[in-house]
Structure 1
Amino acid sequence: MERRWGAGRSAAVLAVLGLTGTAVGVPAVAAEPGGEPAAQVRWGACPEGVDDPALPARLQCATVPVPLDYGDPGGAKIELTISRLASTDPDQRRGVLLLNPGGPGGTGLDQPEFLASQGMPNSVLDSYDLIGMDTRGVGHSTPVSCGFTTDQAYFGNIPPYAVDEAAVAEQATIAQGVAEQCAANDERLPHLSTANMARDLDEIRAALGEEKASFLGYSYGTALGAAFASMFPERADRIVLDSNIGDTHLTHEGMRRYGRGMEETFPDFARWAAARHGSYGLGRTPEAVRATYFTLAERLDETPVDGINGGLFRLATFASLYNENSYGQMAQTWQSLLDGATAPAEIPPAPAAPSPNDNAWSVFLAVTCNDVEWPEDVGTYQRAVAEDREKHPLYGAAAANIMPCAYWQQGPSEPPVAVNDDGPTNVLVVQNQRDPVTPLRGGELIDEKFGDRSRLVSVDASGHGAYVLGDNPCALNVTTKYLVDGTLPEHDMTCEAPTSG
């Protein structure tokens, strides 16, 4: 579930939406005379396109070699590319804050600079070197590929909406072909997993010469952060998990929660649109706006407009709920479709139109399918789709549909990482109450699994991403205080919506 800020529709295409307590065969790290690990990276210029040309060039980049297979640490190596926005206050610097924007498959090299540009408090920037990265297989870190091309009927990381059992069976054929293609195209795919990415985080920590590392992860990044805190509790410093999938890995049940998330978040858009009926004409009440959604979806199921069918319309609406700033654009799209006009270009195009993001999709599938066994029987998905079409009619029949994981040939090679509740109390779980892709239940689940190690901050807000990216002062203040001072709330707590005026 990549949380790419300010680009809700592309975020949905990449949305998921992520053994033992120690790494297997991790090479020893040289130590300084005082017992601290020695830094092993050489910082230099970042790859072209990483730095935002509108911002000062403050990022530095480096590579860290890690084993392709941690069971064979002396074997083949791959490179991880990392970035650093260094603290400028040595008196305040605490250490490093590893960052992950989500996915799996999302690039994170630009995230330090992005978070700083979005208002990351100076107290955090002074306390840490912000460390971004392309996780294994992604972008500038020895990329992998399933070889997706523009003429394939495979669309993103969320299955298409299934109108009936036949649609699930049709998608099963596509999913099987994708799984077979991935298996034949890249022999490194079996080594992409959340467990290995957590081991990579520990390798990065060691290469940076740090005894411990803090972590801030969004969306799938919460699965990676939970795995890191579980596998390496003695080396995990302050952990913040924002917009949670509910575990260290994504399962079919986790995907099905997308349907729940849309049901819980859509009323915010419906109220917004109803208050602006005079401008957009989508319905005078939230109930009328909801009815308009189904009218448009069913009309497009029967008669697509310029390649936009009901499934893509549902996906676009789901994606618009990531951020309230997308509401106006989506209302305009609905208005155009109601008027019978051509839909604006911002709505996701038909699958064969643009070049698909082969690398991001390949990493998403590899990690998701390698982490845990998925149901293999098509009937299981047909029953789930039928159930969720009734239970979560807005989007349940998409989230419950079959994925290539049902036919995956490479994994899993080890059990999924179990959440470790035996360790320091150092996990802050931050969760918007209305989130289309990682609903509140995900935050509750991971908090329950960590037990006394964690505190849950439930935020009365809408959208995907609370800390820095949201507009709730309580969530900002509580999280900043933890990162800077190490002060966790005494108990799980709720951050109320700020009052206007």
Structure 2
Amino acid sequence: MRRALTIVVAAATAAVMFAPPGLAEPGKSAQPLKWGDCPADVAKHGLQCTTIDVPLDHRNPDGPQIQLSLSRLASKNPDKRRGVLLTNPGGPGGSGLDFPGALVDLKMPQSVLDSYDIIGFDPRGVGRSTPVTCDLTTEQQNRGNIPPYARDAADVLTHARNSKIVADQCAKSKTANLLPYVSTAATARDMDRIREALHEDKISFLGYSYGTHLGAVYATLFPNRGDRIVLDSNLVPGGLDRAGSRLFGPGMEKRFPDFAKFAAAKPEYDLGTTPEAVTAKYFDLAARLDKAPVQGYDGALFRLATFASLYRDSRMPQLAEIWKALDTNQPPPRMVAAEAQPNVENAVASHLYVICNDSRWPKSVGSYLHDVSVDRKRYPMFGASGANIRPCAFWRSEPAEPPVRVGDRGPSDVLLAQNTRDPATPLSGAEQMRRALGDRARMVTADQGGHGVYLIGANKCANDTVTAFLTTGERPQDDRACVAEPA
């Protein structure tokens, strides 16, 4: 799951059965955990919090340490408790400390709450876990972490200059010494330290969006230490890399007809009486706002706001109100994010630390000029955003550990959940993840739109499949397709 509008939004090899050279296998942690009250903004539903220390550099386990903040929603039924369920809400850059409470708000079944201590944590670099910074200005924060829609080559070059400035700021920030050590591989190793600190032989995991990459990397690095792994709304196996970012274009094209149908059926919005008319209105509004912004909305922000609102069906009425206001040159209603992000600067900075370490991004501005030109024509709604350049093209550091390639060796203990019309992590990317995990995984698809399946979508078949896996271990023998639920 991502936090809008700052959207902290994407061939298989053998899994690593042992630590790579220079990475010591951690032993049992003697560190006692002292659970206590959580910070005020996290404390709800009986959540408890604590901290643990982990190596800054896992190649040097006895070297400098950093601190991770953890939360726990303990099972109240010891007779049914199976173990622990680590969770991640997405990102990268998203805080997960309050996520167990959010899962309760999403009506997580009591059978799951009885089966596990639900564990949340802020990944390294995020929130209360040794946070990083890029000293971003308010303007830079407001740009978020999805590149703007590039109308032409000049827009790409402008964003390239802005991206280089951001990369330089990250390299000169007070946390620049952490640059090589904030990555998905390092966070996965942190997860195993959390497992040790909880005195568990195995952990289960529930990860959404970017959390699917984190869970897949953990399952690859530690194939025999996972119990039941659920990956919901899947990125490509490389995470939010160049290929994952470019999937925003086809993802929006696949999802947008759901909104067009919704708006066409609501004459009060006056956006068109057919889905085709609503689609034409999108391009008309974007072109008009490119020339003459309304109340701070230019064409790029309009496109981004539309893309972000397609994450949830529940956001469609608000989006239609925004369109209606912009179409009539009126002040649009303020877009309210579904989830508050207390520190946007840290969210954007830690997002960059991770994605720039997790893959090798093209350094040539010319390659982005080419890709934007191609994707603008192929996916005119949003392709020129997903293909646009990022600060990673100018990143100054190398990761302490090479990116981990998701592999298929290990027990068959992974369940992928995926919507067929996800704008941010489209089905085509999930299918790549499914192939990379091979027989380790099964996938359940729900014929619905939006970003997030389990507890977020309304498909009972998909929800029940995930709940059964978490509580009983029952998993479809083959991949399962869940048909659309009646409205």
Q: Does 1:85 align with 2:73?
A: yes
Match of 1:371 among 346, 358, 383: 358
Q: Does 1:360 align with 2:347?
A: yes
Match of 1:221 among 196, 211, 216: 211
Tell me which amino acid in the other structure corresponds to 2:213.
A
SS at match of 1:188: helix
Q: Distance in 2 between matches of 1:139 and 1:268?
A: 35
Q: Distance in 2 between matches of 1:248 and 1:129?
A: 30
SS at match of 1:75: coil
Per the alignment, residue 375 of structure 2 pairs with: 388
1:248 Cα deviation (Å)? 4.4
Tell me which amino acid in the other structure corresponds to 2:35.
W
Per the alignment, residue 41 of structure 1 pairs with: 33
Q: Distance in 2 between matches of 1:295 and 1:383?
A: 25
Match of 1:473 among 452, 460, 464: 460
Q: Does 1:327 align with 2:320?
A: no
Q: Does 1:14 align with 2:7?
A: yes
Q: Distance in 1 between matches of 2:248 and 2:305?
A: 14
Q: Does 1:287 align with 2:286?
A: no
Q: Does 1:440 align with 2:432?
A: no
Tell me which amino acid in the other structure corresponds to 1:120.
M
CA contact (8 A) 2:71 2:119 kept: yes
Gaps (5+ residues) in structure 1?
Answer: 31-37, 349-353
SS at match of 1:282: coil
Tell me which amino acid in the other structure corresponds to 1:411.
E
CA contact (8 A) 2:8 2:94 kept: no
Per the alignment, residue 140 of structure 1 pairs with: 128
CA contact (8 A) 2:179 2:399 kept: no
Q: Distance in 2 between matches of 1:485 and 1:248?
A: 30
Tell me which amino acid in the other structure corresponds to 1:490.
Q
Query: Residues 153 and 87 from structure 1, CA distance in 2 versus in 1: closer, same or farther, beyond 3 angstroms?
Result: closer
Residues 172-214 of structure 1 show CA distances to partners (whole Å, capped at 9, x for unaligned) of 1111111111011021122000000000000000100000000
CA contact (8 A) 2:85 2:204 kept: yes
Q: Does 1:303 align with 2:292?
A: yes
Q: Distance in 2 between matches of 1:338 and 1:193?
A: 43
CA contact (8 A) 1:231 1:420 kept: no
Tell me which amino acid in the other structure corresponds to 2:38.
C
Q: Distance in 1 between matches of 2:405 and 2:17?
A: 9
Tell me which amino acid in the other structure corresponds to 1:307.
G
CA contact (8 A) 2:8 2:93 kept: no
1:412 Cα deviation (Å)? 3.2
Per the alignment, residue 447 of structure 2 pairs with: 460
Per the alignment, residue 203 of structure 1 pairs with: 193
Query: Residues 409 and 273 from structure 1, CA distance in 2 versus in 1: closer, same or farther, beyond 3 angstroms?
Result: same
Query: Residues 364 and 72 from structure 1, CA distance in 2 versus in 1: closer, same or farther, beyond 3 angstroms?
Result: same
CA contact (8 A) 2:57 2:400 kept: no
Query: Residues 269 and 464 from structure 1, CA distance in 2 versus in 1: closer, same or farther, beyond 3 angstroms?
Result: same
CA contact (8 A) 2:425 2:451 kept: yes
Query: Residues 417 and 329 from structure 1, CA distance in 2 versus in 1: closer, same or farther, beyond 3 angstroms?
Result: same
Residues 71-110 of structure 1 show CA distances to partners (whole Å, capped at 9, x for unaligned) of 1111110010010000011110000000000001101111
Per the alignment, residue 61 of structure 1 pairs with: 49
Q: Distance in 2 between matches of 1:77 and 1:61?
A: 19
Tell me which amino acid in the other structure corresponds to 2:391.
P
1:25 Cα deviation (Å)? 2.2
Query: Residues 192 and 45 from structure 1, CA distance in 2 versus in 1: closer, same or farther, beyond 3 angstroms?
Result: same
Gaps (5+ residues) in structure 2?
Answer: none
Tell me which amino acid in the other structure corresponds to 1:398.
S
Q: Distance in 2 between matches of 1:282 and 1:328?
A: 12
Residues 301-351 of structure 1 show CA distances to partners (whole Å, capped at 9, x for unaligned) of 000112210000000000110000000001011101111112222289xxx
Query: Residues 83 and 461 from structure 1, CA distance in 2 versus in 1: closer, same or farther, beyond 3 angstroms?
Result: same
CA contact (8 A) 1:45 1:60 kept: yes
State the TM-score, normalizing by the size of structure 1. 0.92
Measured on the aligned residues, the alpha-carbon RMSD in Å equals 1.7
Q: Distance in 2 between matches of 1:170 and 1:21?
A: 45
Tell me which amino acid in the other structure corresponds to 1:14.
I
1:414 Cα deviation (Å)? 3.1
Count how many residue pairs are aligned between Structure 1 and Structure 2: 475
Q: Distance in 2 between matches of 1:72 and 1:42?
A: 26
Q: Does 1:241 align with 2:234?
A: no
Q: Distance in 2 between matches of 1:425 and 1:61?
A: 32
Tell me which amino acid in the other structure corresponds to 1:430.
A
> Percent identity among equivalent residues?
52
CA contact (8 A) 2:141 2:344 kept: no
State the TM-score, normalizing by the size of structure 2. 0.95
Query: Residues 151 and 285 from structure 1, CA distance in 2 versus in 1: closer, same or farther, beyond 3 angstroms?
Result: closer
Q: Distance in 2 between matches of 1:279 and 1:438?
A: 32
SS at match of 2:325: helix
Residues 15-64 of structure 1 show CA distances to partners (whole Å, capped at 9, x for unaligned) of 326x954442244215xxxxxxx773111111221124xxx4x0000101
Q: Does 1:100 align with 2:104?
A: no
Tell me which amino acid in the other structure corresponds to 1:413.
A
CA contact (8 A) 1:40 1:209 kept: no
Q: Does 1:312 align with 2:304?
A: no
1:484 Cα deviation (Å)? 0.6
Tell me which amino acid in the other structure corresponds to 1:240.
V
Tell me which amino acid in the other structure corresponds to 2:271.
L
Tell me which amino acid in the other structure corresponds to 1:3.
R
Tell me which amino acid in the other structure corresponds to 1:487.
E
CA contact (8 A) 1:222 1:248 kept: no
1:423 Cα deviation (Å)? 0.6
1:442 Cα deviation (Å)? 1.7
Query: Residues 355 and 119 from structure 1, CA distance in 2 versus in 1: closer, same or farther, beyond 3 angstroms?
Result: closer
1:250 Cα deviation (Å)? 1.9
SS at match of 2:40: coil
SS at match of 2:127: coil
Q: Which moved more, 1:140-149 or 1:221-230?
A: 140-149
CA contact (8 A) 1:148 1:356 kept: no
1:249 Cα deviation (Å)? 2.4
Per the alignment, residue 400 of structure 1 pairs with: 387
Q: Distance in 2 between matches of 1:269 and 1:307?
A: 23
Q: Distance in 2 between matches of 1:79 and 1:39?
A: 13
Q: Distance in 2 between matches of 1:151 and 1:423?
A: 46
CA contact (8 A) 1:371 1:411 kept: no
Q: Does 1:191 align with 2:181?
A: yes
